[in-house]
Amino acid sequence: MRVKLVHLLAGALVAASMVVTGSAATHTAEAAPAQAYNWRNVEIAGGGFVPSIIFNQTEQNLVYARTDIGGAYRWNQSTGRWVPLLDWVGWDKWGWNGVHSLATDPVQTNRVYAAVGMYTNSWDPNNGAILRSTDKGATWQATALPFKLGGNMPGRGMGERLAVDPNRDSVVYFGAPDGNGLWRSTDYGATWAKVANFPNVGNYAPDPSDPNGYLSHRPGVVWVTFDKSTGTSGNATQGIYVGVADKGNTVYRSVNGGTSWERVAGQPTGYLAHKGVLDPVNHQLYIATSDTGGPYDGAKGDVWKYNTATGAWTQISPVPSSSSDDYFGYSGLTIDRQHPGTIMVATQISWWPDVIFFRSTDGGATWTRVWDFTSYPNRSFRYTMDISSSPWLDFGTNPQPPEVTPKLGWMTESLEIDPFNSNRMMYGTGATIYGTTNLTNWDSGSQFTIRPMAAGLEETAVLDLISPPTGAPLVSALGDIGGFRHNSLTTVPSKLFTQPVFTSTTSLDYAEANPGVMVRAGNFTDADRPNDSHVAFSTDGGANWFQGTEPGGINEGGTVAAAADGSRFVWAPKGQPVHYSVGFGNSWTQAQGLPTESVVESDRVNASKFYGFSGGRFYVSTNGGATFTQTAATGLPTTAKFKALTGKEGDIWLAGETGLFHSTDSGASFTALSTVSKAVSVGFGKAAPGRTNPALYTMATIDGVNGVHRSDDNGVTWVRINDDQHQYGNAGDAITGDPRVYGRVYLGTNGRGILYADPVGTTDPDPDPDPDPEPTGDCEVTYGVNQWQGGFTGSVTIANTGTAPLSGWRLAFAFPSGQRVTSGWGATWAQDGANVTAQSLGYNGTIAPGGSVQVGFNGSWSGSNPSPAAFTVNNNPCTTGS
């Protein structure tokens, strides 16, 4: 449904509405007592789209990043980590974690501004706001806007929409979406007025007829940039350039400090200017254009420069839109402020084989590419990538040339050279921030090194969490990047879930009495992998996975549950009937009596008992999920999440819009907790000292206070364990305690990753109790060669010397003398430089304990043909056989 936006009268001021240093809410009921907790992120380092990185132009190492759903961050140079700035945003303003734009003041560098609001359609109930800070984002004040903002809407990588006058920094401009035009503040962002005479609000929308109001979003006025050379300190800058999402009229300017505006004459048409970067030294405005607003698409575009002194436009596209080789638009755009004639631009978007960066040192007259095709499908590279700090960024893939892993990136709307250091560059992708500190190697003909620069920036959307009693302390289900087994809470995981890879894992469970047995369900694009299943199993606590079969018609994961002893599973895929399987998904049988798309869970004691919930009704099965019977329970919320308590058959806790409910009779009846008016989720952890019942954790409204709460006495009394500085916006869809550490809680958020917290003063601060490291091998590889001049056949035997199956195995080794694999069998073979991988096929994907598989390949060599020195299977070292 299209929401009618409220507009202010032209020239009317929007007054500052609140001071924000935490939650500003007040409560009439007596709140539950609070306990101080230390809150930290479980380390993943990235995981989501970073639309923009913003360097302050006058203070070295002052850098900000904005995300589409996970707030804003400031770079800490001394630690090499990003510091989150909006964790105080709570449920009531969750959309403020969508940062539509950000600006750092070049005059008073402690000042920073953020335009916040996640959706402009009905999904976000609140209008947007402009936040302002005088202490680099440690505390904020907010001015409410009379319309919504779209930090997670189409076109969110365009910009920056916020801009501070570099000569008179009390003047701040903001470009608004959806017909709301250009806005200006003259008092450091405290009050705002619409610029009534700005002539164009922007007419472009990806799909004006979209009934959901998402693709019909109009990005509107998308960037503002000042020509500092047209002003003096303390006096308003006279030359201002503005980008508008209008393919016929995309650049405007004022030459009199915003008194009047005009369409820049002679400008290119047919495309949208994603970026406008001004070089006041050489009097050049550079724009990067694309045929769409992005960030996922863009098939044509150009790069132009405009001489602000002469009014001349020059097309400087590395690949012009008129060329058949241009299958992308342009987006990320930056200049080297130490050498302003040096420009870089990124493609919008080149999914295959990779994003392309172009660099010019002569103002766009000539360009070089970050990679080039040599003899197809081979490419040469001006860079190397080191992802050792975030090894999961290879996404577990084995691409065929010309694709490589890891990829350089995608959705690269932000590409920024440090204004103080020509060698430092950062860029945002759909998964992380990458960067380099030796960029100018590009110009000397040697390779520069790209590494992740996302430490501290956590932007995953968390869909489920489990903390088993043995093995790794945490296993996660995540949107977009699938999920991880977290052997350490303070170390970035080495790999994400594979065999199969899910784009999003929607549900996780483990067998309570046999916790090494796990199951996950999830989503991926079926057309890409028609033979893969949406359900997978593990017998080693999530270290390795293998897929089962699936019933027909399944496109999304839904929810899944494991019997207490791991003997069977119940699966409720989205949009399809509920099924059960005896064993690891070799076959599935439709369950009877449970509605489609129910939420399913297992009893944690009785292996034959499963539970289901749908539309306010509760169901129970006592025959392993074959049949379900609706219980007599009434008064439950329409939608809910529930869990069965560890160690006590039939004990169930259910969280929903109307509160928290408890059953001790397998769901035959429920009792509502009178102090809880709303609950999002519920979980369990180790019992408090002297108690036998598990501690309860919930994201809920208790005694009128929203927050994370713990009860040690089965819900009789509660303590709040987060505070107003640690609210994390749209948090709580997943929550669990730790069965091994009393007081520890794991909290999932929608955009701020996974949080874990312990009580302040905890005597055992070890963040990784009883850590279960990655398996240390349990494999032996025997390598043999039959060679002739220039060629050879290699045979490889992989033996499982451990006690658990090697599932979805992936062999890796490095050739020491430039050998090449030319063809292979028994596996999917791939080679990147010296590094070779062999991925199992469906028929040989599991090696039983004591078993082995043999694979082989044909190869070429010159000079010498020594054997590889070491082998790994599933990233674990193997012994070498003979």
Catalytic annotation, residues: 68, 480
CB atoms closer than 10 angstroms to residue 216: 18
DSSP H or E stretch at residue 559? strand 559-562
Give dist(CA 865, CA 633) in Å, integer. Answer: 72
How far is Cα 850 from Cα 859, in angstroms, rounded to an integer?
29
CB within 8 A of 113, min separation 6: which ones?
Answer: 102, 103, 104, 105, 130, 131, 132, 133, 162, 164, 172, 189
- Helix, strand, or coil (residue 443): helix
Locate 64 and state its tokens: 């900000």
Q: Which of 463, 493, 500, 494 is nearest to 478 (CA)?
A: 463
Grouping H, G, I as helix, E, B as strand and the rest as coil, residue 60 is: coil
DSSP state of 857: E
In 3D space, the residue among 312, 326, 215 whose CA is nearest the CA of residue 267 turns out to be: 312
**Dist CA 831 CA 485 (whole Å):** 27
Is residue 400 helix, strand or coil? coil
Contact (Cβ atoms closer than 8 angstroms) between residue 846 and residue 853:
no
> Can you tell me the distance from the alpha carbon of 642 to that of 651, in angstroms, rounded to the nearest whole number?
11
Measured torsion, CA atoms of residues 233, 235, 236, 238, in degrees rounded to the nearest 10: -90
**Secondary structure (3-state) at 843:** helix
List the Cα angle 556/559/561 in 5-degree steps.
135
Closest by CA to 417, choosing from 436, 433, 430, is 436
Question: Is there a contact between 150 and 100 (Cβ–Cβ < 8 Å)?
Answer: yes
Contact 749, 731 (CB under 8 A): yes
Place of tokens 């001071």: 19
Q: What 3-state class would DSSP assign to 665?
A: coil
Amino acid of residue 116: V
| Distances from the Cα of 302 to the Cα of 273, 313, 318, 320, 417, angstroms | 9, 12, 8, 6, 21
Rounded Cα gap, residues 496 and 405, in angstroms: 14
Hey, what are 340's tokens? 């302003």
User: Within 10 A of 21 (CB to CB), how many other CB atoms are there?
Assistant: 12
> d(Cα 90, Cα 182) in Å, to the nearest integer?
29
Are 63 and 75 in contact by the 8 Å Cβ rule? The answer is: yes
Rounded CA gap, 215 and 217, in Å? 5
Burial class (CB in 10 A: 0-12, 13-18, 19+), 213: middle
Residue 280: which of 231, 234, 223 has the closest Cα? 231
CA dist., res. 131 & res. 185, Å (int): 12
Count the alpha carbons within 13 Å of 731 in the hemisphere toward its beta carbon.
31
Find out whether 766 and 507 touch, Cβ atoms under 8 Å. Answer: no
Alpha helices in 218-299 (DSSP H): none
CB within 8 A of 230, min separation 6: which ones? 237, 238, 239, 255
Torsion-angle region of residue 863: left (phi > 0), alpha (psi -120 to 50) or beta? left
Torsion from C-alpha of 750, 756, 757, 762, nearest 10 degrees = 180
Query: For residue 477, what are its two tokens?
Result: 């289900």
Distances (CA, A) of 738 to 127, 169, 696: 38, 49, 11
